[in-house]
Amino acid sequence: MSPSAVRARYRIGGMDCVSCATKIETAVRRLPGIDEVGVSVASGTLTVMLADAHGAAAVERQVKSLGYSIEPADAQDTPSHAIGAGQAPHGESGRTDEAWWKQPKALLTIGCGVALVLAYVAGQLLQRIETWAFLAAMMIGLVPIARRAWSAAFAGTPFSIEMLMTIAAVGAIIIGAVEEAAAVVFLFLVGELLEGVAASRARASIRDLATLVPKTALLEEDGKTREVPAELLAVGGVIVVRPGDRIPADGEILDGSSSIDEAPVTGESTPKRKGVGDIVFAGTINADAVLRIRVTAAAADNTIARIVRLVEEAQESKAPTERFIDRFSTYYTPAVLVAGALVAVLPPLMAGASWPDWIYKGLAVLLIGCPCALVISTPAAIAAGLSAGARRGLLLKGGAVLEGLRKITTVAFDKTGTLTQGKPVVTDVVAIGVAEREVLSLAAALETGSNHPLAVAILARAKDDRVPIPPADDAKALAGKGVSGRVGGKTVLLCSPSAAAERTALSPEQSARIVAFNEQGKTVSVLLVDDQLTGLIAMRDEPRADAIVGLSALKAAGIRTVMLTGDNRRTAEAIGASLGIEVRAELLPQDKQSIVRELQSNGAIVAKVGDGINDAPALAAADIGIAMGGGTDVALETADAAVLHGRVLDIVNMVGLSQTVMTNIAQNITIALGLKAVFLVTTVLGVTGLWPAILADTGATVLVTANAMRILAWRGRSEPQPFFASDRP
């Protein structure tokens, strides 16, 4: 690739099926100076790598010559200015897609339909002009179709559906079936229009995510707020979000505490309480308090925008089944032409049958054999599956990942931040000679102001229990031992058990209690007041609330689970025992990778779930790497798939979505080939003719697309149920 290479992305109007995408890809790839071409029917986009910027005009001319509209995809997405860091707005740009009935394809269909009605009326009034009237009506629709067929043939796609349609219509005219030919052309246009409407609905399912971000934001400057376009917010700007409003940008809370409804981004129905220092996502809803938020990402890079980009890019990558269908259709369409010719020619030549009758049947075979329904069967379902997953916080980077998930036999989990919360919490408070609240109060007094994870856990527990926290004097850290200070005139020390044993004798019962906590994988801090043992505080990184449910559902599906962690063996085995999962502990990153390879060598199809950072080697080695618990950036940019809201149960949902999509694909292929087989037999037997033949193609295409759209209603599971029984829409 040359240093001057330029990547350009376009939105294509009128590209509503895979045949359209194939024509465009073939035509653009033949242009000089084109290094890469990617076409997505689902997102309606064309991505090309140009040798230099001068090739863009040639790409646009080539696409327009095929009968499609084309415009830069990023024209309305990328603001030219940003505000919030000293810049002023310079206007707002945007584009609204036309209603389907205003689009050229719809106008052509309506015009052809009106002409067909007028031809019928004219034929009834003046029978001698009936044929000419129907011929004129047919030409209104056929001329644009034939022009597209001609352009596609010269651009490298001679066997297009438009070519089959043109041959069938011209053949029907030659044998005198003009009325039927006119009806077939009209039905073909109706079918294309319905494809377009269905394709638009599929695109809207993911593009609607972008509308979750409000158009305006309240920007705070010099203590005052003013309303500005949200797309022009700059990183570092401070915005104010009122109760009930959607958050207009990714950011960090500077002031305030509120429940945040993250369902639009993560699919998680339970609002999360967030306060100062917590991260919030664009498009989520501030429930009950005013928040001041510092913007951390521009509009083009916020969570919603990245999800949309990720899914659109994923839709451009083809699943193995889709690639097979594409290869199959390459040979299928020429085979249909040969079959139609044989049906038209062999019976008259070999059996003396009527030439007009069998030419008529041969033309009908051409229409029946159009491959649209077959080639759309897989990508329509894949696109709907990717969209349905994204709307529920499951991001899958392509059809190959979505298809491969159903084959998983083993899931290897990281521990910290994946199966557990990723931060310690106080699990036990043991008071000796005083109340538990006093133990927490004294410990919190010493830890006030500390950012150490154990200190944060103690302070959080004190806050939850509404324990008063008195001031501490002379508080200081003791290297490797703990923290000390004076509280209420008493010397207080919060330290490790070994440091406490240096100052006072622990009874056998107290020592046994500490050992028991350690065996459970808990860290113990000892509280001494004037060198007297006053309490024990046990802390541990606890399992996620849904971990047991998620692991149980995986096991119920016959999928093996194993924990791979760098944590110490005792802690890992304690967590593993509580979750009922096989444990391998004290592992380095390369050890995790080796275990994944070992599992694969034994025939397992492995999914590795981790935070995408220290698990990177294992994620890369696994058949499918799933990022979870490492933050939004990691979730969006690492591994093959990502779980936005970090639920273990969503690993099961990913597998369930994969099975749902593959079942839908099988249904679609059955519909497409089944209808063709039925109409092929009835046509050869003389039961059906040209216009039912076109229904076999357009009808099957509409049915297949509608069936695929059912996947958009997929919800996944939040509670354990019989495996995947309710996942299928």
What is the DSSP track for 707-724?
HHHGGGG----SS--STT
Lookup: tokens for 467: 């324990």
Residue 473 zone, left/alpha/beta (φ > 0; ψ -120 to 50; rest): beta
Q: Tell me the Cα Rg of the chain.
A: 33
User: How buried is 687 (Cβ within 10 angstroms: 0-12 exposed, 13-18 middle, 19+ buried)?
Assistant: exposed
User: What's the average model confidence in pLDDT over 138-161?
Assistant: 88
More confident residue, 319 or 450: 450
Return the DSSP state at 54.
G
Closest CA to 17 of 208, 207, 198: 198
Most confident of 408-422, 610-624, 659-673, 694-708: 659-673
Buried (b) or exposed (e) across 608-639, using 16+ Cβ within 10 A?
A: bbbbbebbbbbbebbbbbbbbbbebebbbebb
50-87 per-position pLDDT tens digit: 887 777 888 998 998 888 888 887 644 444 445 555 44
Question: Virtual CA dihedral for 538, 578, 559, 268, nearest 10 degrees?
Answer: -60
3-state DSSP assignment of residue 105: helix
CB 9 within 8 A of CB 47: yes
Q: Higher confidence at residue 404 or residue 452?
A: 404
Q: What percent of the chain has pLDDT over 70?
A: 86
CA 174 from centroid of its chain's CA atoms: 51
What are the tokens at 138?
Answer: 């047919």
Which range has the worst mean pLDDT, 25-34, 224-233, 319-328? 319-328
- Is 437 within 8 Å of 465 (Cβ atoms)? yes
User: Are the C-beta atoms of residues 185 and 115 closer than 8 Å to each other?
Assistant: no
Single-letter code of the amino acid located at 254: L
Q: Where are the beta strands (DSSP E) in 432-558?
A: 473-478, 482-487, 490-495, 523-529, 532-540
Looking at residue 91, its amino acid is G
d(CA 674, CA 704): 12
pLDDT at residue number 96: 36
| Cβ-based neighbour number of residue 495 at 10 Å | 20
Note whether 18 and 375 are within 8 A (CB): yes
Cα angle at 477 between 472 and 483, to 5 degrees? 60
Q: Collapsing DSSP states into helix, strand and coil, what is residue 225? A: strand
Q: Could you tell me the two tokens for 471? A: 């001031």
Structure tokens at 419: 């199966």
Q: Specify the residue for token string 């040639």.
A: 58
Give the CA-trace dihedral at 416, 477, 510, 574, to 10 degrees. Answer: 10
Q: What is the model's pLDDT at position 612?
A: 56
Kind and range of the H or E run holding 609: strand 606-610
317: pLDDT confidence band, cut at 50, 70 and 90?
A: low
pLDDT of the residue at 651: 93
Q: Is the dihedral of CA 337, 340, 344, 349 positive or negative?
A: positive
- pLDDT higher at 486 or 480: 486
Q: Is the pLDDT of residue 542 over 80?
A: yes
State CA 481 to chain mean position distance. Answer: 48
Q: How far apart are CA 520 and CA 533, in angstroms?
A: 22
Question: pTM for this one?
Answer: 0.73
Residue 89 has pLDDT above 70, yes or no: no
Length of the chain: 729
- Cα–Cα distance between 42 and 15 in angstroms, integer? 9
Place of tokens 């009128």: 14
Provide the 8-state DSSP code for 728.
-
As a whole number of Å, the end-to-end CA separation of the chain is 45
At residue 3, the pLDDT reads: 62
> Residues 435-452: what's their mean pLDDT?
90
Q: What are phi and psi of 611, to 5 degrees?
A: -90, 0
* Residue 287, φ and ψ in degrees, nearest 5: -85, -50
What is the rounded average pLDDT of the residues 296-307? Answer: 83
Average pLDDT over residues 617-626: 85
Say how many C-beta atoms besides its own lie within 10 A of residue 220's C-beta: 18
- Residue in the block written with tokens 């950012």: 451
Q: Counting beta carbons within 10 angstroms of the beta carbon of residue 528, is it exposed (0 to 12), middle (13 to 18) or buried (19 or more)?
A: buried
What letter represents residue 273's amino acid?
R
Using DSSP, state whether 246 is helix, strand or coil: strand
pLDDT at 492 over 90: yes
pLDDT at 553: 92
Q: Reduced to 3 states, what is the DSSP secondary structure of residue 483?
A: strand
- Please report, for residues 244, 247, 250, 295, 632, the alpha-carbon distance to residue 279 in angstroms, rounded to integers and kept in the order given: 18, 11, 8, 10, 10
For residue 252, what pLDDT is reported? 93
Collect all residues with Cβ–Cβ distance below 8 Å to 328 and sequence separation of at least 6: 374
Q: What is the distance between the alpha carbons of residues 17 and 161, in angstroms, rounded to a whole number?
A: 11
3-state SS assignment for residue 140? helix
Would you state the pLDDT for residue 205? 60
Mean pLDDT of the chain: 83
Residue at token pair 């099961």: 652
Taking the C-alpha atoms of 130, 131, 134 and 139 in order, what is their torsion angle to the nearest 10 degrees? -150
Q: How far apart are CA 584 and CA 563, in angstroms?
A: 6
pLDDT value at position 164? 81
| Catalytic machinery residues | 414
Helix (H) or strand (E) holding 129: none
Count CB-CB contacts under 10 A for residue 675: 20
d(CA 376, CA 322): 9
- Spatial distance between the Cα atoms of 289 and 292, rounded to a whole number of angstroms: 10
Q: pLDDT at residue 444 above 90?
A: yes
Q: What is the pLDDT of residue 87?
A: 47
User: What does the pLDDT read at residue 436?
Assistant: 93
pLDDT tens digit sequence for 198-233 = 667 656 665 666 677 888 999 999 888 999 999 889
- pLDDT higher than 60, residue 722: no
Give Cβ neighbours of residue 550 (< 8 Å, ≥ 6 apart). 647, 648, 649, 650, 651, 652
Give the pLDDT band (50/70/90) at residue 188.
confident
For residue 724, the number of C-alpha atoms closer than 13 Å in the C-beta half-sphere is: 20
Sort 341 into a burial class: Cβ within 10 Å, 0-12 / 13-18 / 19+: middle
3-state secondary structure at position 682: helix
3-state secondary structure of 439: helix
- Both tokens of 198, joined, read 């269905």
Backbone region of residue 540 per phi and psi (left: phi > 0; alpha: psi in -120 to 50; beta: other values): beta
Indicate the pLDDT class of residue 321, thresholds 50, 70 and 90.
Answer: low
Once rounded to an integer, what is the mean pLDDT over residues 266-293? 82
- The DSSP symbol for 100 reads G
Q: Would you state the structure tokens that stand for residue 94, as one six-digit string?
A: 């945007």
How many CB atoms are closer than 10 A to CB 468?
11
Cβ atoms of 375 and 322 within 8 Å: the answer is no
Calculate mean pLDDT across residues 713-719.
77
